[in-house]
Structure 1
Amino acid sequence: MNRSRRVILATAGSLGDIHPVIAVGMALQTRGLTAVVATSVDYRAKIEAEGLTFREVGPSIARLEADTGLDLAQLTARIARSDRFLFENIMLAYAGKSTRQLIEASRDADIVAGLSFAVGARIAAEVLGKPFVSIALQPTTVFSVFDPPKLPAAPWLAPARGGLQLAINRLTLAIARQTTAAWTRRIDRVRAELGAPPSPGDIFFDALRHADLALGLYSPLLSPRQPGAPATFEVVGYAAYDSDDGGPSVLPEALGAFLESGPEPLVFTLGSAAVNTPGDFYERGLAAARALGRRSILLVGPQGDCAIADGPDALALPYAPYSLLFPRAAAIVHQGGVGTTQQALRAGRPQLVVPHLGDQYDNAARVVRLGAGLTLSRTAFARRGEATLARLLEDAPARTAAARLGDLARQEDGAAAAAARIAGVAGRR
């Protein structure tokens, strides 16, 4: 009997980086392929609970804490202050070992797929002579000069099709490449040790190029395929998954009872990364909800204080599946992680985005551009959260836009679309 085709899916990071890959893996197995998720051991139980094969690649959270001398909250805070710390002290620092692990995990694979910054996946594919699939989870990592990310460090960037603004975007990209060139040189040293040629391009800005297939695993509502994208690139939609422990997503019993006991609440969440450094986000959110006479649900994370919900008008939980909770919210206040943002889009509810780090600023700007919500900085939320929420809740056009976008977003099945295209690459072997 011929064995099924095996696809390695390499990823790293928080649940926002893990969940879409699990969704694609499950869709691949539905098509008769074997999906192998290569990532930190922290996610092994969830991956195997879904019937997927797990391979350990990259450091665990405990390893990162031991090596850096920082706990998870401190690590998150450092990443929030500087993307350079993420790339230089985590991604590049472990690139050599992680790549070697990935090569071993991929020896019996037919295809190697990895997120944009999973540089070891590209190297493993080259060393082993396998087809390579590059996956972007958010528009930020594509960095189109026609639809560039909105970032605090470069507030002058803006969508453009020509003229001065496009020239500014191109110049900014050229300057940014000078910084990331040093990172590419560090990866090239790893490549040389493994007998691979130098990188075919910048590891940051060219991550989707020179691949057999490149996928934007995010909603085209956030950003459709842009001019100048690689010929192999396609935006296929959001890959939804939000089970806590694997298996079907279910509402906690206490949450279901709370939702049934009164009007739609405000939902406050910081995802699975920013939740490690919440500051006074939940206290401010709860106070704003009470001042507006609204019930609230606070998703405070596994290390959070559930006792913060100190009355019958509020409920605090470590986790809840967004796909079941968000559609029952009056509005969703969140950090702007790309997974959280897209679950809120699918729910068809207005959003207030309070970005903390990374691509969250760009995702917030895209929500505002779509007319589905508003955004505030962390400091502004502390001062103006109540007034902004009141404005959002009274904004009929925002509710209408959010509902319309929800109808469109729910039609997407990025996991199935990605699996079909990856299967097509396998079929050509």
Structure 2
Amino acid sequence: MTKARHFIFLGMGTLGDIFPFLSLAVEMQRRGQEVTILLAPVHASHAEKAGVSYKVFGTQADYDAALRHPDMWEIRKGMGIVLESSKSVHTELPGYIASLSAEQDCVLVVHPLGLPAADIARSFRPDIPVVAAYLAPSNLRTVHNPLVMGDLFIPQWLPVWMRRLLWTYADKNFIDPVAVPIINQARQARNLSTISSLAPHMYAVPDLSISFFPDWFAPVQPDWPAPLAMGEFQLYDSNLVTDLSTELEEFLAAGPAPLVFTPGSGNIQASHYFLCAQQAVQKLGLRAIFLTSHREQITTALPDNILWQSYLPLRSILPRASALIHHGGIGTTAEALRAGTPQLVTPLAFDQFDNAARVKKLGTGDFIRMSRLTGSKLTRSLQQLLASEVIKTSCAQVSNKFKKTGYADSLCDSIEALQSKQKG
């Protein structure tokens, strides 16, 4: 019998970023492989629910401090906060790999921001293949269309040389000043050569890249890394209970399908968002569910037509919702596409603007920048969204593109096909 290989998954970010890695980990474990997922302390319970072996990386204090930082959701500063809060991965991942038996074949499947740490680990374990797992299309750089940089939607007529210059400017002014010193400090501690820029270094590390999104959502671009295995949306939720609470069932039964509002699991700075949501819901005379684990973001007393819920599996509630109003995280976006639920995206930062643009291009919804959000603007946008028969038709058509099962199958096949490199 062939000895099981050890597949190590490094998940980074909020819960929506962790679920795709858990999806692959669960499938690999089902196939009889040894699996370990590395994640932040706050997500450990989800690995436990999934029955997957895990190791905690980083501290809860660092995770919380990043979410509380006033610049976390600032378009041009947020990435620096993320890089600073997760800098321990550059020592912890190599340290973990060093603790493993050199005789067992291992494969690393990592979040893109974990690639520099994987490269350090491979400096003393060169036999380990590295897989880069890209959660959203904007994680993969391109000078082709569509090109979205933060909240900037680059017009198609802009020459390629100018597009490259924009990336150079972004690296020089926003990414490299934070990322390069952190990475080089970890590399110098192991007597490795330093790097000059994050992006070229990241793209040179993996033996295989995979996407957690399908090609109908984002076709492969000529300048994306190769080899690249395109996957499906990893629609995973560790909460296997699909039954809704009595309170929620009674609310749903008491009137028309509600709107569902969520600013994302990691956003603890969404008071303005919920205030605008309440104003719009009241103005339109509709019903709504406010979804956040941070109750303090919502006014103390809610009217009878609005229900607060700490957590709900989106797969359970979206088929019974009239629309989803959300931040534009890739996992939330995908769940709405699967359910055929019209969506209004309120992007803040990171991949959210690009995801919002793709939702609009698919005809399944629209978006309004969070920085411009007011109760009146949200009211008008919701009126247009809910009245659009074109959007409802497009939602139904896109929903039919989803597989019913086996979201992780093809990606796991591609990862299993990787051969360990020659030791020594």
Task: Give me the TM-score of the superposition, normalised by structure 2.
Answer: 0.88
Aligned to 2:93: 99
CA deviation map 1:141-181 (0-9, x unaligned): 1011113542346x2524x5xx6443332221233343445
Mind listing any 5+ residue stretches in structure 1 that lack a counterpart?
Answer: none
Distance in 2 separating the partners of 1:306 and 1:351: 21
Distance in 2 separating the partners of 1:240 and 1:420: 18
After TM superposition, list the pairs within 5 Å mapping 1:238-277 onto structure 2.
238-244=233-239, 247-274=240-267, 276-277=268-269
Please, which of 233, 236, 244 is the counterpart of residue 231 of structure 2? 236
- Aligned partner of 1:424: which letter? A
> In angstroms, what is the RMSD of aligned CA positions?
2.7
Note if contact 2:281-2:379 (Cα within 8 Å) is conserved in structure 1.
yes
CA deviation map 1:110-130 (0-9, x unaligned): 101101111313322343121
CA deviation map 1:376-400 (0-9, x unaligned): 1224331311111001100111111
What SS does structure 1 have at the residue aligned with 2:302? coil
Aligned to 1:173: 167
Aligned to 1:217: 212
CA deviation map 1:256-312 (0-9, x unaligned): 3322333211110111112x1112222321331232222111102244467757333
Q: Give how far 1:333 is off.
A: 0.3
- Count the aligned residue pairs: 413
Aligned to 1:396: 389
After TM superposition, list the pairs within 5 Å mapping 1:199-218 onto structure 2.
202-204=197-199, 207-218=202-213
Distance in 1 separating the partners of 2:90 and 2:225: 28
Aligned to 1:143: 141
Please, which of 107, 117, 128 is the counterpart of residue 113 of structure 2? 117
Distance in 2 separating the partners of 1:96 and 1:206: 14
Note if contact 1:306-1:318 (Cα within 8 Å) is conserved in structure 2.
no
Note if contact 1:143-1:205 (Cα within 8 Å) is conserved in structure 2.
no
Deviates more, 1:252-261 or 1:363-372: 252-261
Please, which of 158, 165, 190 is the counterpart of residue 194 of structure 1? 190
Q: Give how far 1:412 is off.
A: 7.8
Q: Percent identity?
A: 25
Deviates more, 1:305-314 or 1:317-326: 305-314
- Aligned partner of 1:5: which letter? R
What SS does structure 2 have at the residue aligned with 1:134? strand
Note if contact 2:9-2:36 (Cα within 8 Å) is conserved in structure 1.
yes
Distance in 1 separating the partners of 2:145 and 2:59: 35
Note if contact 1:55-1:105 (Cα within 8 Å) is conserved in structure 2.
no
CA deviation map 1:34-90 (0-9, x unaligned): 221011222222202211110122x2222455xxxx5x6522x32212135325532
Note if contact 2:271-2:298 (Cα within 8 Å) is conserved in structure 1.
no
Distance in 2 separating the partners of 1:156 and 1:358: 13
What SS does structure 2 have at the residue aligned with 1:135? strand
Distance in 2 separating the partners of 1:425 and 1:260: 51
- Aligned partner of 1:124: which letter? A
Aligned to 1:83: 78
Mind listing any 5+ residue stretches in structure 2 that lack a counterpart?
Answer: none
Q: Give how far 1:423 is off.
A: 1.4
Task: Give me the TM-score of the superposition, normalised by structure 1.
Answer: 0.87
- Aligned partner of 2:270: which letter? P
What SS does structure 2 have at the residue aligned with 1:327? helix
CA deviation map 1:325-373 (0-9, x unaligned): 1122111100111111111111111111111222212211221122211
Distance in 2 separating the partners of 1:392 and 1:50: 37
- Aligned partner of 1:265: which letter? P
Distance in 2 separating the partners of 1:206 and 1:141: 14
- Aligned partner of 1:62: which letter? A
Note if contact 1:224-1:235 (Cα within 8 Å) is conserved in structure 2.
no
What SS does structure 1 have at the residue aligned with 2:252? helix
Note if contact 1:243-1:249 (Cα within 8 Å) is conserved in structure 2.
no
Q: Give how far 1:249 is off.
A: 4.5
Distance in 2 separating the partners of 1:309 and 1:265: 18
Distance in 2 separating the partners of 1:297 and 1:105: 47
Q: Give how far 1:188 is off.
A: 3.3
Distance in 2 separating the partners of 1:334 and 1:105: 41
Distance in 1 separating the partners of 2:197 and 2:206: 13
Note if contact 1:267-1:297 (Cα within 8 Å) is conserved in structure 2.
yes
What SS does structure 2 have at the residue aligned with 1:219? coil
After TM superposition, list the pairs within 5 Å mapping 1:14-413 onto structure 2.
14-57=14-57, 59-64=58-63, 70=65, 73-75=67-69, 77-81=70-74, 82-92=77-87, 94-104=88-98, 107=101, 108=104, 110-118=106-114, 119-129=116-126, 130-152=128-150, 155=152, 157-158=154-155, 160=156, 164-179=158-173, 180-182=175-177, 183-184=179-180, 186-198=182-194, 202-204=197-199, 207-244=202-239, 247-274=240-267, 276-304=268-296, 310-382=302-374, 383-410=376-403, 413=406
Note if contact 1:237-1:413 (Cα within 8 Å) is conserved in structure 2.
no
- Aligned partner of 1:12: which letter? M
Change (3 A) 1:53 1:88: closer
